[in-house]
Amino acid sequence: MDGMGVIGNFWRRAGGWSPLQWLLVTPVVTLPLSALLVFTMGGELDGASLGLVEVEWTRENRQLDRTHYFYYDFWLTWGLLAAPGALNLLAVRWLFHELTYVRLAAGVGLVLALLRTFIVPVVSMVWVSADVLNHDSGLLIRVPVGEAGRHIDPSPLEATLTLLITAWTAGLGMWLLTFAIQQGYEPLMARFFPGLAPPRERSEEEQGSWGGFFGKRGSRGGSPE
């Protein structure tokens, strides 16, 4: 089977998942791909050539420390982190499902996908571990790395890893939120929207627990709306 055949087969199988389940598995691809893009296409800018401070003395806990600054293009870094997240946006596929029950899940999933892809990683990165500078050359990300307790100077690799780990940590928070919503979607829908048909009939024993609403597709309950 050629590459396109493998992709097509996988996509057909994925059609049996819920949109929230899709968002739970995409990090398997998006995390390593984002690292690959940032390390190969991102890269640190030369602060000295831009007239920016690269090393300065700062005071932390009443002790002097040398802080090294590493600079990155804001829009390029944001784009490299966001590009793999296009996989998350494929949750839009379920917006065209025949059942309103599934379309609502797709709407929730799409909101989560947009937050995970375009907003949360870069906002957390800038808020927690870096600053944004408005320079003549454009928006820059400045990553400070202290020298205290080190035998060697901080490296650009360490600064890049700091950015990635911060973005990934925020992504983990969004993944946990997605997992919680996925776990609660079916019981909440059963309680507040009992008239909407799930892709399978609910049994009385399942009312309070998540069973994976694409798990048993042999029968459907209610009406399509």
User: Which amino acid type is present at position 104?
Assistant: L
**Spans of the chain below 50 pLDDT:** 6-7, 10, 206-211, 215-225
Residues 6 or more apart whose Cβ sits within 8 Å of residue 188: none
Q: Hey, which residues does 223 pair with through a beta bridge?
A: 196
Cα(2)–Cα(31) distance, rounded to whole angstroms?
25
Given a contact cutoff of 8 angstroms between Cβ atoms, the answer to whether 202 and 212 are in contact is: no
pTM equals: 0.78
Task: Write down the pLDDT at residue 67.
Answer: 86
- Give pLDDT tens digits for 132-172: 888 887 899 999 888 766 667 788 899 999 999 999 999 99
User: Residue 123: what pLDDT?
Assistant: 86
pLDDT score at 84: 94
**What burial letters (b/e) apply to 82-108, b meaning 16+ CB within 10 Å?**
bebbebbbbbebbeebebbbbbbbbeb
Q: What is the pLDDT of residue 18?
A: 86
Tokens coding 95: 């917006």
Res 140: pLDDT? 92
